[in-house]
Structure 1
Amino acid sequence: MRRVYLKEKKQEKTSLIPKTISIGFFGGLIWGTIAAIAGYFNFTEVTPKSLILRPWLQSAWSDQWLGQFISILIISLISIGLALLYYVLLKKFPGMLPGILAGIVLWFIVFWLLEPIFTNIPPFFELDSDTVVTTVCLFILYSVFIAYSISFAYQQHIGENN
Protein backbone atom coordinates (compact mmCIF):
# COMPACT_ATOMS: atom_id res chain seq x y z
CA MET A 1 0.00 0.00 0.00
CA ARG A 2 2.83 2.39 0.86
CA ARG A 3 4.55 1.68 -2.48
CA VAL A 4 1.45 2.66 -4.41
CA TYR A 5 1.21 5.92 -2.45
CA LEU A 6 4.89 6.73 -3.11
CA LYS A 7 4.51 5.91 -6.80
CA GLU A 8 1.52 8.25 -7.06
CA LYS A 9 3.41 11.01 -5.25
CA LYS A 10 6.37 10.57 -7.61
CA GLN A 11 4.08 10.84 -10.66
CA GLU A 12 2.57 14.04 -9.30
CA LYS A 13 5.98 15.64 -8.91
CA THR A 14 7.29 14.67 -12.31
CA SER A 15 8.05 17.59 -14.52
CA LEU A 16 7.66 18.03 -18.22
CA ILE A 17 10.96 19.90 -18.44
CA PRO A 18 13.07 16.83 -19.43
CA LYS A 19 10.52 15.94 -22.11
CA THR A 20 10.48 19.56 -23.32
CA ILE A 21 14.29 19.55 -23.54
CA SER A 22 14.28 16.38 -25.62
CA ILE A 23 11.48 17.71 -27.86
CA GLY A 24 13.49 20.88 -28.44
CA PHE A 25 16.75 19.04 -29.15
CA PHE A 26 15.22 16.54 -31.55
CA GLY A 27 13.09 19.22 -33.22
CA GLY A 28 16.24 21.20 -33.98
CA LEU A 29 18.06 18.06 -35.10
CA ILE A 30 15.30 16.84 -37.40
CA TRP A 31 14.33 20.17 -38.98
CA GLY A 32 17.93 21.41 -39.13
CA THR A 33 18.82 18.28 -41.07
CA ILE A 34 15.86 18.77 -43.39
CA ALA A 35 16.93 22.40 -43.93
CA ALA A 36 20.44 21.20 -44.84
CA ILE A 37 18.95 18.72 -47.31
CA ALA A 38 16.75 21.48 -48.79
CA GLY A 39 19.87 23.60 -49.25
CA TYR A 40 21.73 20.69 -50.85
CA PHE A 41 18.96 20.31 -53.43
CA ASN A 42 18.90 24.11 -54.00
CA PHE A 43 15.40 24.67 -52.63
CA THR A 44 16.90 27.41 -50.48
CA GLU A 45 20.12 29.37 -50.36
CA VAL A 46 19.84 29.61 -46.55
CA THR A 47 21.13 26.53 -44.75
CA PRO A 48 22.02 25.89 -41.11
CA LYS A 49 25.69 26.67 -41.75
CA SER A 50 24.81 29.98 -43.42
CA LEU A 51 22.82 31.00 -40.35
CA ILE A 52 25.09 29.70 -37.59
CA LEU A 53 28.75 29.47 -38.65
CA ARG A 54 29.29 31.46 -41.83
CA PRO A 55 28.55 34.93 -40.38
CA TRP A 56 31.46 34.48 -37.95
CA LEU A 57 33.77 31.96 -39.62
CA GLN A 58 34.99 32.22 -43.18
CA SER A 59 37.30 29.21 -43.04
CA ALA A 60 37.05 26.43 -45.60
CA TRP A 61 35.82 23.73 -43.19
CA SER A 62 32.79 25.79 -42.13
CA ASP A 63 31.49 25.69 -45.71
CA GLN A 64 31.59 21.89 -45.95
CA TRP A 65 29.73 18.97 -44.35
CA LEU A 66 31.50 19.45 -40.99
CA GLY A 67 30.26 23.03 -40.79
CA GLN A 68 26.75 21.86 -41.64
CA PHE A 69 26.90 19.13 -38.97
CA ILE A 70 28.18 21.48 -36.26
CA SER A 71 25.56 24.07 -37.24
CA ILE A 72 22.78 21.50 -36.92
CA LEU A 73 24.01 20.58 -33.44
CA ILE A 74 24.12 24.26 -32.43
CA ILE A 75 20.59 24.74 -33.81
CA SER A 76 19.50 21.75 -31.72
CA LEU A 77 20.90 23.39 -28.59
CA ILE A 78 19.27 26.73 -29.42
CA SER A 79 16.06 24.83 -30.07
CA ILE A 80 16.07 23.60 -26.46
CA GLY A 81 15.79 27.22 -25.34
CA LEU A 82 12.97 27.89 -27.82
CA ALA A 83 11.12 24.79 -26.62
CA LEU A 84 11.45 25.90 -23.00
CA LEU A 85 10.17 29.34 -23.96
CA TYR A 86 7.22 27.75 -25.73
CA TYR A 87 6.60 25.54 -22.69
CA VAL A 88 6.48 28.56 -20.38
CA LEU A 89 4.31 30.74 -22.63
CA LEU A 90 2.08 28.55 -24.80
CA LYS A 91 1.88 24.99 -23.43
CA LYS A 92 -1.83 25.28 -22.65
CA PHE A 93 -2.84 26.01 -26.24
CA PRO A 94 -3.59 22.75 -28.10
CA GLY A 95 -3.69 22.27 -31.83
CA MET A 96 -1.54 23.37 -34.73
CA LEU A 97 -2.50 27.03 -35.01
CA PRO A 98 -0.24 28.23 -32.16
CA GLY A 99 2.67 26.40 -33.80
CA ILE A 100 1.93 27.92 -37.20
CA LEU A 101 1.80 31.41 -35.72
CA ALA A 102 4.96 30.80 -33.69
CA GLY A 103 6.75 29.61 -36.84
CA ILE A 104 5.79 32.72 -38.78
CA VAL A 105 6.88 34.97 -35.89
CA LEU A 106 10.16 33.07 -35.58
CA TRP A 107 10.78 33.39 -39.32
CA PHE A 108 10.23 37.15 -39.18
CA ILE A 109 12.55 37.44 -36.19
CA VAL A 110 15.33 35.57 -37.98
CA PHE A 111 14.92 37.05 -41.47
CA TRP A 112 13.74 40.54 -40.60
CA LEU A 113 14.96 41.59 -37.15
CA LEU A 114 18.21 39.62 -37.02
CA GLU A 115 19.05 40.23 -40.69
CA PRO A 116 21.99 42.58 -39.90
CA ILE A 117 23.73 39.75 -38.00
CA PHE A 118 23.67 37.39 -40.97
CA THR A 119 25.92 39.26 -43.38
CA ASN A 120 26.29 36.37 -45.82
CA ILE A 121 22.53 36.04 -46.38
CA PRO A 122 20.86 38.44 -48.81
CA PRO A 123 18.64 41.10 -47.23
CA PHE A 124 14.95 40.31 -46.76
CA PHE A 125 13.78 41.98 -49.98
CA GLU A 126 16.51 40.32 -52.07
CA LEU A 127 15.69 36.72 -51.14
CA ASP A 128 14.41 34.62 -54.03
CA SER A 129 10.93 33.14 -53.84
CA ASP A 130 12.20 29.56 -53.47
CA THR A 131 14.18 30.53 -50.38
CA VAL A 132 11.30 32.45 -48.84
CA VAL A 133 8.73 29.71 -49.40
CA THR A 134 11.06 26.91 -48.31
CA THR A 135 12.28 28.66 -45.16
CA VAL A 136 8.80 29.80 -44.13
CA CYS A 137 7.56 26.24 -44.53
CA LEU A 138 10.51 24.83 -42.58
CA PHE A 139 10.04 27.31 -39.75
CA ILE A 140 6.31 26.54 -39.61
CA LEU A 141 6.88 22.78 -39.64
CA TYR A 142 9.57 23.08 -36.97
CA SER A 143 7.33 25.22 -34.75
CA VAL A 144 4.31 22.97 -35.23
CA PHE A 145 6.46 19.98 -34.25
CA ILE A 146 7.60 21.75 -31.08
CA ALA A 147 4.22 23.27 -30.22
CA TYR A 148 2.12 20.21 -30.87
CA SER A 149 4.52 17.90 -29.04
CA ILE A 150 4.73 20.13 -25.98
CA SER A 151 1.01 20.85 -25.77
CA PHE A 152 0.25 17.14 -26.28
CA ALA A 153 2.68 16.18 -23.50
CA TYR A 154 1.17 18.85 -21.26
CA GLN A 155 -2.40 17.66 -21.89
CA GLN A 156 -1.32 14.08 -21.30
CA HIS A 157 0.41 15.08 -18.05
CA ILE A 158 -2.71 16.91 -16.86
CA GLY A 159 -4.83 13.87 -17.70
CA GLU A 160 -2.52 11.55 -15.73
CA ASN A 161 -2.62 13.73 -12.64
CA ASN A 162 -6.41 14.04 -12.50
Structure 2
Amino acid sequence: MRRMSKKQQINDNEESVLTKSMYTGFVGGVSFSLLASVMYYFNFLEVEPKSYLLTSWVSDAWTDTWLGIFFTTILAGVLSLLVAFVYYFIFKKIKHMWAGILYGLILWVLLFLLFRPIFDDIPAVMEWSVNTWVTTICLFILYGTFIGYSISYDYMESEKTKEEIKNS
Protein backbone atom coordinates (compact mmCIF):
# COMPACT_ATOMS: atom_id res chain seq x y z
CA MET A 1 0.00 0.00 0.00
CA ARG A 2 1.37 3.38 -1.03
CA ARG A 3 1.71 6.00 1.67
CA MET A 4 0.47 9.53 0.86
CA SER A 5 2.75 12.50 1.36
CA LYS A 6 1.91 15.07 4.04
CA LYS A 7 1.16 17.69 1.40
CA GLN A 8 -1.28 15.35 -0.36
CA GLN A 9 -2.98 14.52 2.96
CA ILE A 10 -3.40 18.22 3.70
CA ASN A 11 -4.83 18.91 0.21
CA ASP A 12 -7.28 16.01 0.58
CA ASN A 13 -8.31 17.37 3.97
CA GLU A 14 -9.00 20.86 2.50
CA GLU A 15 -11.01 19.39 -0.39
CA SER A 16 -12.98 17.37 2.12
CA VAL A 17 -13.97 20.54 4.01
CA LEU A 18 -15.19 22.22 0.81
CA THR A 19 -17.17 19.10 -0.11
CA LYS A 20 -18.74 18.98 3.36
CA SER A 21 -19.60 22.67 3.01
CA MET A 22 -21.42 21.98 -0.23
CA TYR A 23 -23.35 19.12 1.39
CA THR A 24 -24.20 21.42 4.28
CA GLY A 25 -25.46 24.05 1.84
CA PHE A 26 -27.67 21.64 -0.07
CA VAL A 27 -29.11 20.01 3.04
CA GLY A 28 -29.67 23.43 4.63
CA GLY A 29 -31.48 24.74 1.56
CA VAL A 30 -33.71 21.69 1.29
CA SER A 31 -34.45 21.55 5.02
CA PHE A 32 -35.26 25.20 5.44
CA SER A 33 -37.32 25.30 2.25
CA LEU A 34 -39.43 22.42 3.57
CA LEU A 35 -39.67 24.13 6.95
CA ALA A 36 -40.85 27.34 5.26
CA SER A 37 -43.46 25.34 3.32
CA VAL A 38 -44.75 23.85 6.58
CA MET A 39 -44.83 27.32 8.13
CA TYR A 40 -46.84 28.59 5.17
CA TYR A 41 -49.24 25.66 5.50
CA PHE A 42 -49.85 26.51 9.17
CA ASN A 43 -50.26 30.24 8.32
CA PHE A 44 -47.09 31.52 9.94
CA LEU A 45 -46.10 32.95 6.56
CA GLU A 46 -48.28 34.85 4.11
CA VAL A 47 -46.08 34.06 1.15
CA GLU A 48 -45.32 30.56 -0.06
CA PRO A 49 -41.63 29.73 -0.62
CA LYS A 50 -42.34 28.69 -4.20
CA SER A 51 -43.34 32.30 -4.93
CA TYR A 52 -39.69 33.28 -4.58
CA LEU A 53 -38.14 30.49 -6.53
CA LEU A 54 -40.68 29.13 -8.96
CA THR A 55 -43.89 31.03 -9.66
CA SER A 56 -42.12 34.33 -10.33
CA TRP A 57 -40.91 32.77 -13.60
CA VAL A 58 -43.23 29.80 -14.24
CA SER A 59 -46.99 30.20 -14.19
CA ASP A 60 -48.07 26.68 -15.14
CA ALA A 61 -50.74 24.82 -13.18
CA TRP A 62 -48.30 22.15 -11.93
CA THR A 63 -46.61 24.74 -9.69
CA ASP A 64 -49.65 24.55 -7.37
CA THR A 65 -49.26 20.80 -6.83
CA TRP A 66 -46.82 18.72 -4.79
CA LEU A 67 -44.52 18.84 -7.83
CA GLY A 68 -44.16 22.60 -7.40
CA ILE A 69 -43.14 22.15 -3.78
CA PHE A 70 -40.68 19.41 -4.80
CA PHE A 71 -39.00 21.55 -7.48
CA THR A 72 -38.94 24.56 -5.17
CA THR A 73 -37.23 22.48 -2.49
CA ILE A 74 -34.59 21.12 -4.88
CA LEU A 75 -34.02 24.58 -6.36
CA ALA A 76 -33.57 25.99 -2.84
CA GLY A 77 -30.95 23.29 -2.18
CA VAL A 78 -29.08 24.16 -5.37
CA LEU A 79 -29.16 27.91 -4.65
CA SER A 80 -28.03 27.18 -1.12
CA LEU A 81 -24.86 25.64 -2.57
CA LEU A 82 -23.93 29.15 -3.69
CA VAL A 83 -24.75 30.55 -0.24
CA ALA A 84 -22.55 27.93 1.43
CA PHE A 85 -19.77 28.51 -1.10
CA VAL A 86 -19.75 32.25 -0.36
CA TYR A 87 -19.73 31.61 3.39
CA TYR A 88 -16.90 29.10 3.02
CA PHE A 89 -14.63 31.52 1.18
CA ILE A 90 -15.42 34.64 3.23
CA PHE A 91 -16.33 33.65 6.79
CA LYS A 92 -15.08 30.10 7.41
CA LYS A 93 -12.38 31.21 9.86
CA ILE A 94 -14.82 32.93 12.21
CA LYS A 95 -15.41 30.71 15.24
CA HIS A 96 -18.44 32.45 16.67
CA MET A 97 -22.09 31.71 16.08
CA TRP A 98 -22.73 35.42 15.59
CA ALA A 99 -21.22 35.29 12.12
CA GLY A 100 -23.91 32.82 11.02
CA ILE A 101 -26.67 34.89 12.61
CA LEU A 102 -25.40 38.02 10.86
CA TYR A 103 -25.07 36.08 7.59
CA GLY A 104 -28.70 34.95 7.87
CA LEU A 105 -29.83 38.55 8.45
CA ILE A 106 -27.79 39.72 5.46
CA LEU A 107 -29.43 37.03 3.31
CA TRP A 108 -32.87 38.16 4.53
CA VAL A 109 -32.10 41.78 3.58
CA LEU A 110 -30.74 40.73 0.19
CA LEU A 111 -33.71 38.53 -0.67
CA PHE A 112 -36.61 40.57 0.67
CA LEU A 113 -35.38 44.13 0.26
CA LEU A 114 -32.70 44.29 -2.41
CA PHE A 115 -33.87 41.56 -4.82
CA ARG A 116 -37.59 42.00 -4.17
CA PRO A 117 -38.31 43.69 -7.55
CA ILE A 118 -37.27 40.45 -9.29
CA PHE A 119 -40.07 38.51 -7.57
CA ASP A 120 -43.34 40.08 -8.71
CA ASP A 121 -45.53 37.46 -6.93
CA ILE A 122 -44.42 38.66 -3.51
CA PRO A 123 -46.04 41.54 -1.65
CA ALA A 124 -43.79 44.32 -0.38
CA VAL A 125 -42.25 43.75 3.06
CA MET A 126 -44.24 46.66 4.52
CA GLU A 127 -47.48 44.84 3.58
CA TRP A 128 -46.57 41.73 5.61
CA SER A 129 -48.12 40.85 8.93
CA VAL A 130 -46.02 40.78 12.09
CA ASN A 131 -46.16 36.95 11.99
CA THR A 132 -44.54 36.87 8.57
CA TRP A 133 -41.88 39.37 9.61
CA VAL A 134 -40.93 37.47 12.74
CA THR A 135 -41.12 34.04 11.08
CA THR A 136 -38.99 34.93 8.06
CA ILE A 137 -36.35 36.71 10.13
CA CYS A 138 -36.15 33.80 12.58
CA LEU A 139 -36.02 31.29 9.73
CA PHE A 140 -33.15 33.13 8.06
CA ILE A 141 -31.29 33.50 11.35
CA LEU A 142 -31.61 29.73 11.87
CA TYR A 143 -30.54 29.04 8.30
CA GLY A 144 -27.51 31.34 8.55
CA THR A 145 -26.55 29.82 11.88
CA PHE A 146 -26.85 26.30 10.48
CA ILE A 147 -24.73 27.10 7.43
CA GLY A 148 -22.21 29.24 9.29
CA TYR A 149 -21.66 27.13 12.35
CA SER A 150 -21.45 23.87 10.37
CA ILE A 151 -18.92 25.23 7.90
CA SER A 152 -16.82 26.96 10.56
CA TYR A 153 -16.83 23.84 12.73
CA ASP A 154 -15.70 21.64 9.82
CA TYR A 155 -13.00 24.16 8.96
CA MET A 156 -11.69 24.30 12.53
CA GLU A 157 -11.63 20.50 12.75
CA SER A 158 -9.78 20.44 9.43
CA GLU A 159 -7.19 22.86 10.80
CA LYS A 160 -6.65 20.58 13.81
CA THR A 161 -6.22 17.59 11.50
CA LYS A 162 -3.83 19.57 9.30
CA GLU A 163 -1.76 20.46 12.36
CA GLU A 164 -1.69 16.79 13.44
CA ILE A 165 -0.53 15.74 9.96
CA LYS A 166 2.26 18.33 10.01
CA ASN A 167 3.40 17.23 13.47
CA SER A 168 3.42 13.54 12.67
Place the TM-score, normalised by the shorter chain, in its bin. over 0.9
Partner in structure 2 of residue 146 of structure 1: 147
Give runs of aligned pairs for residues 125-140 of structure 1, distance below 5 A: 125-140=126-141
Output the CA distance in 2 between the equivalents of 1:20 and 1:57: 30
Partner in structure 2 of residue 113 of structure 1: 114
Give the drift of 1:9. 4.3
Give the drift of 1:120. 1.2
The 8 Å contact of residues 32 and 72 in structure 1, kept in 2 or not, is answered as yes
Output the CA distance in 1 between the equivalents of 2:75 and 2:117: 20
Change (3 A) 1:120 1:90: same
Give the drift of 1:158. 0.1
| Unaligned residue ranges in structure 2 (runs of 5+) | 164-168
Partner in structure 2 of residue 46 of structure 1: 47
The question of 1:94 aligning with 2:100 is answered no
Larger mean CA deviation between 141-150 and 58-67 belongs to 58-67
TM-score of the two chains, using structure 2 as the length reference: 0.90
The 8 Å contact of residues 94 and 151 in structure 1, kept in 2 or not, is answered as yes
TM-score of the two chains, using structure 1 as the length reference: 0.93
Output the CA distance in 2 between the equivalents of 1:135 and 1:53: 18
Letter of the structure 2 residue corresponding to residue 136 of structure 1: I
Give the drift of 1:48. 2.1
SS at match of 2:117: coil
Partner in structure 1 of residue 10 of structure 2: 12
Letter of the structure 1 residue corresponding to residue 59 of structure 2: Q
Give runs of aligned pairs for residues 15-94 of structure 1, distance below 5 A: 15=15, 16-94=17-95
Query: Identity, % of aligned pairs?
Result: 42
Output the CA distance in 1 between the equivalents of 2:9 and 2:139: 35
Deviation track 1:24-76 (CA, whole Å, cap 9, x = no partner) reads 10010111111111111111022321111111122221122211110110010
Deviation track 1:63-93 (CA, whole Å, cap 9, x = no partner) reads 2221111011001000001100000000000
Letter of the structure 2 residue corresponding to residue 161 of structure 1: K
Give the drift of 1:121. 1.0
> RMSD over aligned Cα, in angstroms?
1.5
Output the CA distance in 1 between the equivalents of 2:108 and 2:24: 19
Output the CA distance in 1 between the equivalents of 2:7 and 2:91: 26
Deviation track 1:116-136 (CA, whole Å, cap 9, x = no partner) reads 111111112111111111111
Output the CA distance in 2 between the equivalents of 1:91 and 1:63: 38
Letter of the structure 2 residue corresponding to residue 101 of structure 1: L
Output the CA distance in 2 between the equivalents of 1:148 and 1:142: 10
Partner in structure 2 of residue 155 of structure 1: 156
